[in-house]
Amino acid sequence: MLVGIDASRALRTPRTGTENYSLYLIRALAALDTPHRWRLYADRPPPTGLIEGAGVEWRVMPWPRLWTQMRLAWEVTTHPPDALFVPAHVIPAMRRCPTVVTVHDLGYLYHGAAHRPLDRAYLRASTLWNARVARAVLADSEATRRDLVAHTGCDPSKIVVAYPAGAEGLAPVTDGVRLAQVRARYGTGERYWLYLGTLQPRKNLESLIGAFARQSLDNVWPSDVRLVLAGRPGWYHERIAACAEASGVSERIVFPGYVDAEDVAPLLSGALGFVLPSWYEGFGLPVQEAMACGAPVICSNVSSLPEVAGDAALLFDPADRDALADAMRRLWQEPALRDELARRGSAQAARFTWERCAQTVLSVLESAGKKG
């Protein structure tokens, strides 16, 4: 079987969630022991060695704009594969092959104010389109699956949950020199709470800043303990910076910006705890990545996060800032709890692998290709 894959997102840099999903899943598919061929469609030449495999071929098709709906659509109409997989974008309107698509989340429904109006309209239209025309839909979690059924009218029988995983090769870093280098590079100080992800309203970072400020001003921990909010600035990030400035402990809050891939593991490994207070997550990859690196986790109890965290995190209502502050206080004051969560987290993180995800996706692609 010839499987076509929209690999355009896998070539984007710097990569965040959907780009990493595309790259790691395509790599895992290419590594499977299967007779199938993989035709990877791209809008630019890929870096050497980015995705390799005996059955992999690249179809590089530069195009100035509307690449999906014009250039990719023309390609899969005139030279259709047996099945087309779109891991992180929208299905071409014109095509002559069964299509499988991943829908990562429907967060725009729950926190529309966290998106620009045009982005929200696009997300709604593209999600409804994908759910309607795809032969099969992959969801990152049971929470996303339920949302798809409830809000798009998608036939439940064509939705399959394929849990993703975090960045490849993540593991606890214990080398003191490496940890010190990363602390110096990002200005974290010796002891720090960590958030890692895009800085945007949906992540509820104002609550995290408020909880950290409350405990800091109450002297729950020493003045050298910092809050590190790492990641690229997203839409409306200025409000987050203003909240930090008005917190009363702004000198203890660090915004180091985007974190290079090779620094993610040591940054997570050195944290007092990883905190994700998000209002909504389709899967919550940062939680899985933090657990893989041995960081104790505090996260919201909404959407997919309980699925990802299992019994390996302290969960709280994202609307309850006091509950978040209390969870941070507990982790600080109870070293045995930190150790126990780190131990449980390691086991929980191991449940999610790209190979397992790829096996599920392959089964769905084979079924779609056979039906024609």
Instruction: Note if the pTM is more than 0.85.
Output: yes
In this structure, the chain runs to a length of: 372
Tell me the two tokens of residue 342: 């780190």
Residue 314 backbone phi and psi in degrees, to 5: -90, 120
**For residue 290, with 0-12 CB atoms within 10 Å meaning exposed, 13-18 middle and 19 or more buried, which class applies?**
buried
User: How high is the pLDDT of residue 284?
Assistant: 87
Torsion 166-352-33-58 (CA) sign: negative
d(CA 318, CA 307): 16
Report in angstroms the alpha-carbon separations of 96 from 2, 6, 65, 75, 362.
13, 15, 22, 10, 20
pLDDT greater than 90 at residue 312: yes
Say whether 176-349 and 2-165+353-371 share the same fold: yes
Residues in Cβ contact with 177 at an 8 Å cutoff, skipping those fewer than 6 apart? none
In sequence order, what E strands does 30-127 have? 37-42, 56-60, 83-86, 99-103
Contacting residues for 245 by C-beta, under 8 A, at least 6 apart:
none
Q: Which amino acid is at 69?
A: Q
Closest by CA to 352, choosing from 282, 289, 277, is 289
User: What phi and psi, each to the nearest 5 degrees, are found at residue 96?
Assistant: -130, 50
Q: What was the pLDDT predicted at 115?
A: 67
For 106-128, the pLDDT digits (tens) are: 888 876 666 678 888 888 899 99
CB-based contacts of 40, cutoff 8 Å, min separation 6: 4, 5, 7, 26, 46, 51, 56, 57, 58, 59
Taking 80 as the threshold, does the pLDDT of residue 16 lie above it?
Answer: no
Say which residues have a Cβ less than 8 Å from residue 69's Cβ, sequence separation at least 6. 92, 93, 94
- pLDDT for 258 equals 93
* % of the chain surpassing 70 pLDDT: 98
Per-residue confidence (pLDDT) for residue 236, from 0 to 100 = 78
Residue with tokens 């800043």: 209
The pLDDT, as a whole number, for residue 113 is 63
3-state secondary structure of 303: coil
Q: Tell me the per-residue pLDDT of 139-159, one tens digit each, with 9 for 90 and over.
A: 999 999 999 999 999 999 999
Over residues 358-364, mean pLDDT? 98
What confidence tens digit (pLDDT) does each residue in 59-82 have? 999 999 999 999 999 999 999 999
Can you tell me the distance from the alpha carbon of 312 to that of 47, in angstroms, rounded to the nearest whole number? 37
Q: What's the average model confidence in pLDDT over 184-212?
A: 96
CATH number assigned to the domain covering 176-349: 3.40.50.2000
Kindly list the domain boundaries of the chain, sorted by start residue.
2-165+353-371, 176-349
More confident residue, 237 or 329: 329
Residue-level pLDDT at 59: 97
DSSP-based three-state secondary structure for 37: strand
Please determine, for residue 275, whether its predicted confidence score (pLDDT) is greater than 80. Answer: yes
d(CA 351, CA 120): 33
Q: What does the pLDDT average to over 149-174?
A: 93
Tens of pLDDT along 216-268?
Answer: 999 999 999 999 999 999 877 899 999 999 999 999 999 999 999 899 999 99
pLDDT, mean over the chain: 94
> Is the confidence at residue 38, as pLDDT, over 90?
yes
Query: What are the residue ranges of helices labelled H in 248-296?
Result: 261-269, 285-292
pLDDT band at 290 (very low <50, low <70, confident <90, very high): very high
Amino acid 283: pLDDT: 86
The 10s digit of each residue's pLDDT in 86-107 is 998 899 999 999 999 999 988 8
User: Across the strands, what pairs with 102?
Assistant: 138
Instruction: Match domain 2-165+353-371 to its CATH number in 3.40.140.10, 3.40.50.300, 3.40.50.2000, 3.30.465.10.
Output: 3.40.50.2000
Per-residue model confidence (pLDDT) at position 107: 82
